[in-house]
Chain A
Amino acid sequence: MRLGSGTFAACCVAIEVLGVAIFLRGFFPVPVRSSSRTEHRAEPPAPEPSTGASSNWTKLPPPLFSKVVVVLIDALRDDFVFGSKGVKFMPYTTYLVEKGASHSFVAEAKPPTVTMPRIKALMTGSLPGFGDVVRNLNSPALLEDNVIRQAKAAGKRIIFYGDETWVKLFPKHFVEYDGTTSFFVSDYTEVDDNVTRHLEKVLTREDWDVLILHYLGLDHIGHLSGPDSPLIGHKLREMDSVLMKIHMALLSKEREALLPGLLVLCGDHGMSESGSHGASSMEEVNTALVLISSAFERKPGDIRHPKHVQQTDLAATLAIGLGLPIPKNSVGRLLFPVVEGKPMREQLRFLHLNTVQLSKLLQENVPLYEKDPGFEQFKMSEKLHGNWIKLYLEENSSEVLLNLGTKVLRQYLNALQTLSLSLSRQVAQYDIYSMAVGTTLVLEVLALLLLSVPKALGPAAELDMPLSSPLFSLLFYLTLLVLSAVHVVVCTSTESACYFCSVSWLAAGGAMLLMSALLCALVSALPKTVVGVKHVGKSPAPSSSRWSELDLLILLGTTGHVLSLGASSFIEEEHQTWYFLVSTLCLALCQEVYRNHFLSSDGDPRGGLHTEPGPEGATPVGAKGCALLEDDRTRAAASAFKRLGGTDQRMVLASPWAVLCCCRLLRALNQTGVQGAHRPDLGHWLTSSDHKAALSVLAALSLLAVFLLVQRRCSPMSKVALALGLLGVYCYRAAIGNVMSPWQRGNSDISKGIVEARFVYVFVLGILFTGTKDLLRSQVSAAGVPARTVGLWEIHSGLVLLAALLLRPHNLPVLVSSLLVQTLMAKCVWKPLNHGVAEVTVMHYWFGQAFFYFQGNSNNIATVDVSAGFVGLEHYVEVPAAFLTTFATYVGPILWASHLVNYLSSESSRRKGLPEGQRWVSVCAVRPCSL
């Protein structure tokens, strides 16, 4: 079977996407979740188990605490409270921890140690996974079952002061709130003063049940100057005094109330030695958790060391403490010391509720839950519990009851531990089988692509695909048989659920068919290529000219980048790699340009070097031929260079430097990555409200520049549409208050800009439509090349317009420079220097990647700008929002890809440019994936 080059590349890319999708599905398992997560009907609480006599405890137990105050201090590492710093700077807290009525724990946070997932974990008790972030693409409100929702449903009045993330997560849940923004990291006093100033009033009032305070200052200090800064001491002292104030107020309130109050001091994540957080080092993961209440009596001399617990345990504990049902998705277990002082029956009741909730979660997530040791323990302890209740109701002697109760208690605690462990493991478990299937597919495609590279360099743009060859059919059937056997064995024996087993047999069979077919193709392609290589090796003259420095750089750079992804810090700082490579590429181009310039200007009179290879008589034949070929190519470039006019030549000479300068400026625009994300950059300077005028001017100029750069190759109609569209973009930004509007409407009426955004969308669609129409017309009629070029360019400009709408105003210069660099490179470097398709494609790929990071993206999901998903939409609609966000995130690579298509198709001399370009793109894209 013969395949066209383009079809081949397209098939390869499709199969590769499939493989990567299967791999990712295995790599990021769906987080543990109760199936009934969208409905919020209150389920009846599990009744107390009893054998024989029926218990009268069928309702939820009453709350243990009248008032709960949660003081969340951002980045409160465990040693800030329990270590030497705590002793030094937090005397009151240390006193409470060591001697007072309190329980202290070291709560372990699961990575990513970033505030928002941590808040979710604290309040829902679940572990937000990667899939979770993707699935509800910042539908900002927390939809999962959580303590705050339960508390509100139970009529508790909640007051919140602190980080406004909470307000976004729990809208309309607080009777009173004041959000502070964590945007200005350099401010570490005012953020906290804004919280503390409310305390005085709130603590004297009686009209609340839950008070949540989130202090950001400590985290800001960490980002600014690290955990050993003297500022930390001041801040801890301030926090200590706040804690004392609250504790005193709670104690004074307790005199009137029946129930004691509870004061919770906790951190959301820790702080690494460099002051940042996000990863999973010990310092970032371990946080302090102190529960203070007069209910936790302590005899003198009772030393309690802080125990290691999970951060998710707090949700269950708070729920029990407030007399609420435990959130459905919580994987945490009750912090048992909290209820230790209660009568035995109540203790057992609480533990039973928690176990029931965990086992329900297990049932919904693990198909073979009955075999789980935790579930078995749960059944056992429930039975024992029932017996105990029976004895209790029959009023046996207290001694027997106590002994038996302790036994049941221990049984429950064990069951809880096992259940919680197996649930958390569910989250962290990789699905090896699916991963293996995905990897095999990707590797096979990659090998096939690499094998086909030498053939693609040949004259025929077609490839022999030996799919129907009968010789290999035996191998094909054998592989298929083996694979299905493996499938059956894996799927019947495995204990945990495997995604690939759960898909229908038809789909799994298809994947196996694909795998074995690819293997056969590979095996049959291998000997041919080897023969081909041998043949080439035997022939005296080398088939192609020696690689220039640029080719070498491109090859080494791409390989080096793939290898660098093996180190995690290179993944975190991948933008540095790309910036570095792009700068090097510019310098290499510069060197090439200058060499050609000097060769063309004074190569001939000086003679000697390239025009007369005469005296090289002694060199071997191969080297000489090679040098000749090289000479030919350089001379061609040099003579092409000579044909340019004076100004053009100067442009050519200056363009690599201009590109380099552009890249450097863009680097300063957005700091990204893990180490540098908190450094000040131009982007933050521009977005701060003081510099709105500068931002407005910049945005207007950028939009004008975009118009000038794009319009030159458009048809007149789309020119007008483009101009109006860009005007609409500015109006949109002015309407939502990002930039100043020239026609003063006053700053008060900030709308969502729906009308303006939709106005722009109309033009985007119009331009895309005309472009597609031109493209189709060029396909139908014979005289299509100019129409095709115009059509492609119009599609490109439509994408540019959409990008201009979606990008934040301070990122508009990125768009402009992207267009500028494209124009400069195409006009002044690639065309005069006669770069090959492969080189141009790889350069496009590099620039696309670099611009992805210039936008301020990183490999961290937190940097995705979700606001783009709401442009022109009244409220969150999943499909368009996801599409718009993806587009806005990948603007750089998309625009470079579309420019590549334009460039290659406009170079009409090279017929097979496009498919070959496709192939190189697929090679580039496959290689990082396959790693």
Chain B
Amino acid sequence: MKDNDIKRLLYAHLLCIFSVILSTFIPSLFLERFSILETHLTWLCICSVFVTAVNLVLYLVVKPNAPSKRSSLSHKVARFLKCCIYFLMSCFCFHVIFVLYGAPLIELVLETFLFAVILSTFTTVPCLCLLGPNIKAWLRVFSRNGVASIWENSLQITTISSFIGSWLGAFPIPLDWERPWQVWPISCTLGATFGYVAGLAVSPLWIYWNRKRLTYKNN
């Protein structure tokens, strides 16, 4: 049962990684002069769309959490709308936090906002898919010893690694190597992406490694 779960988790994560990789290659077939660094904003949008789509598909196919009791259409729609609002709110929150961290307030607004969008895609969207618009469940997952399944555990790992990735991504900006990617917010978005991919790759392995030690309250 458990090994089976871990296998499913691994496949799901491989699919997510694949979607990130696809988002760097597919557009160059359709768009001329597409490259991650030069048309960075386009890539951000495409990557965000891809990752969101894959997450939604996974959610519909795998259904990691137990189906909710009320499943009327109106309830589903309300839930979906709520999710959208949460997503937008998280984008704005991230934007505000970036500005507080020192991002320029007036210049580069679009860039900063798209960075917020991609970071939300890596963090908020999986949370919304897995936990739904339920702040208390989120708090539970992200407090210590609050994880209830391997899905939640992997969610915790990927989210935190995306944050750490984007945090570390800010460090090269003041260095004077004069590289094209040392510009706000490219290094941070790249850091977030690498963090997300690393989290996706590492979390099944980590869970497999520690499968004896990990016990969840629900199973």
Contact = CB atoms under 8 A, between A and B. Distances in A.
Given A569-B174, A576-B174, A675-B174, A661 B100 contact: yes
Interface in A546-603: 564, 567, 569-570, 572-573, 576-577, 579-580, 583-584, 587, 595, 598-599, 602
A564 B102 CA distance: 19
A660 B100 contact: yes
B102 A595 contact: no
A602 B167 CA distance: 31
A927 B100 CA distance: 29
B134 to A, nearest CB: 12
A564 B145 CA distance: 34
Interface in A636-675: 660-661, 663-664, 667-668, 673, 675
A569 B176 contact: yes
A618 B99 CA distance: 45
A56 interface: no
Interface of A: 273-274, 564, 567, 569-570, 572-573, 576-577, 579-580, 583-584, 587, 595, 598-599, 602, 606, 608-610, 615-616, 618-620, 627, 630, 660-661, 663-664, 667-668, 673, 675
B76 interface: no
A598 B139 contact: yes
Contact of A583 (B100, B145, B178, B215): B100
Given A583-B101, A584-B167, A609-B140, A619 B215 contact: yes
Interface in B155-192: 167, 170-171, 173-176, 178
Contacts of B143: 595, 599, 609
5 A-B pairs closest in CB distance: A573-B174, A569-B176, A660-B100, A576-B174, A569-B175
B108 to A, nearest CB: 13
Nearest to B97: A587
A580 B176 contact: no
B136 interface: yes
A567 B175 contact: yes
A615 B100 contact: no
A618 B176 CA distance: 52
A410 B72 CA distance: 102
A782 B188 CA distance: 58
B102 A570 contact: no
Given A579-B101, A583-B102, A598-B136, 13 more contacts: A274-B178, A567-B175, A573-B174, A576-B173, A580-B171, A583-B101, A598-B139, A599-B143, A606-B136, A615-B215, A620-B213, A664-B101, A667-B102
Nearest to A610: B145
A668 B107 CA distance: 14
Interface string B87-101: 000000000010111
A564 B146 CA distance: 35
Contacts of B178: 273-274
B144 interface: yes
A619 B139 CA distance: 23
A664 B101 CA distance: 7
Given A573-B174, A584-B167, A602-B136, A630 B101 contact: no
Contacts of B105: 668
Interface residues of B, number: 24
B217 interface: yes
A580 B100 contact: no
27 contacts: A273-B178, A564-B171, A569-B175, A570-B174, A570-B175, A572-B174, A576-B102, A576-B173, A576-B174, A579-B101, A579-B102, A580-B170, A587-B97, A595-B139, A598-B136, A599-B143, A602-B136, A609-B140, A609-B143, A609-B146, A618-B215, A619-B213, A620-B213, A627-B145, A664-B100, A668-B105, A673-B174
A621 to B, nearest CB: 13
Contact of A580 (B101, B146, B175): B101
Interface in B101-139: 101-102, 105, 136, 139
Contacts of B97: 587
Nearest to B146: A609
Given A570-B174, A618-B215, A630-B144, A580 B102 contact: yes
Nearest to A586: B100
Given A595-B139, A602-B136, A618-B215, A664 B99 contact: yes
A274 B146 CA distance: 51
Nearest to A627: B145
Contact of A608 (B173, B176, B217): B217
A602 B176 CA distance: 49
A805 B111 CA distance: 42
Contacts of B215: 615-616, 618-619
A600 to B, nearest CB: 12
A580 B184 CA distance: 14
Contacts of A609: 140, 143, 145-146
A673 B217 CA distance: 52
Nearest to A675: B174
A678 B140 CA distance: 47
Contacts of A579: 101-102
Contacts of A273: 178
Nearest to B218: A615
B26 to A, nearest CB: 35
Contacts of B175: 567, 569-570
A627 B213 CA distance: 14
Contacts of B170: 580
A854 to B, nearest CB: 12
Contacts of A569: 174-176
Contacts of A573: 174
A310 B101 CA distance: 44
A130 to B, nearest CB: 22
A572 B173 CA distance: 13
Nearest to A602: B136
Contacts of A668: 105
A627 to B, nearest CB: 6
A579 B213 CA distance: 39
Contacts of A610: 145
A570 B176 CA distance: 9
A630 B144 CA distance: 9
B217 A664 contact: no
Interface string B62-94: 000000000000000000000000000000000
A318 B175 CA distance: 41
A608 B97 CA distance: 32
A641 to B, nearest CB: 15
Contacts of A608: 217
Taking each of A273, A615, A620, which has the highest tally of chain B beta carbons within 10 Å of its own beta carbon? A615
A289 B178 CA distance: 30
Contacts of A598: 136, 139
Nearest to A567: B175
A630 B213 CA distance: 19
Contacts of A576: 102, 173-174
A656 to B, nearest CB: 10
A667 B105 CA distance: 12
Contact of B217 (A583, A615, A620, A663): A615
B42 to A, nearest CB: 28
Contacts of B217: 608, 615
A101 to B, nearest CB: 42
Contacts of B145: 609-610, 627
A589 B191 CA distance: 23
A580 B100 CA distance: 10
